[in-house]
Amino acid sequence: YGMSLIWLMGNVGSTISCFIFSQRKLRKNPCIMYFLASSASQFMTFNFVLLTRILLNGFNITAINLFLWFCKIRNYFFYLFVAVPRYYIILASIDRYFASCSNIYWRRWSSSKVAMRLIIGSFIFWSLMYSQILVFYEIQDGICSYRHGAYGIFFSIYLSIESGTLPPLVMLIFGCLTLKNIRQSKRRTRPIAELNGVRPAEFIGMSGKDLQYSKMLFSQILLWTILSIINPSDLLYQTITINETKSSFRTTVEVFINNMSYMFIHLEFSLTFFLYTFSSSFFRR
């Protein structure tokens, strides 16, 4: 029931977010372009990846553990469409930093042209990076999983960095840098000369809308930082303890934690729309 509710919330939220972000007056803003790309890619996350997990856990439809091709394809799309929305938000956090810079050279990197190239390039990059799933995922002892042994250790460490450490670290770094730029811009003044004197100083900084976009982004960074680290940490733990003899109680607890870790992944996406709604008056309008 929990995952079904997340599926419903995610689809409704993604649909409304895509409708709002695709409006003509908004979609040329680079930050909004990243938000739109992230929201659109989440449709695949909810309607293929999460839906197949609901069928497996809720209705015991075990096609993923019966057909090798489905085992590979399903997990390929899972990792791809978890990484892509996250890294679009990372790109949005980097864009906010560039947009808040006082140096015009860096501000030029915050543009719709750059955003479109990075959106396409990021999708291609992660599609290639996770092609390893098509090779190294197998059905072992009736369970679809990554190949045990050296690759299992490598993949767990890779995921703990790519999904658990890198996204929140990069988002937090650029989030803090953006906040620093915003605070500096409020203190920075520019004297504008007049004929018989000097006019009062003006603040130089981001526009009101850009500040609203940054506020939406910061709330998302905070939530995703908390929820995104759980699953890769669990996978790393499973790999380290794979050869240990475990009691039935410990196994049950580990299975429960593993299922919850995947639920948190989908929860972070399904709450995005509600975060935007509560954190930004612009989005509510």
For residue range 59-116, what is the model confidence (pLDDT) as tens digits? 777 777 888 999 999 999 989 998 999 899 999 999 989 988 888 888 899 899 999 9
pLDDT at 208: 67
pTM of the model: 0.84
Domain ranges, ordered by start, for the chain: 2-186+203-284
The two three-digit tokens of residue 225, written as one number: 């930082």
For residue range 235-258, what is the model confidence (pLDDT) as tens digits? 778 878 877 888 888 888 888 888
Question: If you average pLDDT over residues 136-161, what whole number do you get?
Answer: 87
Using DSSP's 3-state secondary structure scheme, residue 144 falls into strand
Residue 200 reports pLDDT greater than 80 = no
The two three-digit tokens of residue 24, written as one number: 């003509």
Residue with tokens 């303890």: 241
Q: Which of 26-35, 141-150, 188-197 shows the lowest mean pLDDT across its residues?
A: 188-197
Residue 205 reports pLDDT greater than 80 = no
Task: Name 186's Cβ contacts closer than 8 Å, sequence gap at least 6.
Answer: 203, 205
Q: What is the CATH number of domain 2-186+203-284?
A: 1.20.1070.10
On average, the pLDDT of the chain sits at 83
pLDDT at 187: 63
Q: How crowded is the C-beta side of 210, counted as CA atoms within 13 Å?
A: 21
Task: Name 163's Cβ contacts closer than 8 Å, sequence gap at least 6.
Answer: 82, 83, 86, 228, 231, 232
Burial of 199 (0-12, 13-18, 19+ CB in 10 A): exposed
Nearest to 120 by CA among 110, 108, 131, 112: 112
By percentage, how much of the chain surpasses pLDDT 90? 26
Task: Name 230's Cβ contacts closer than 8 Å, sequence gap at least 6.
Answer: 260, 261, 264
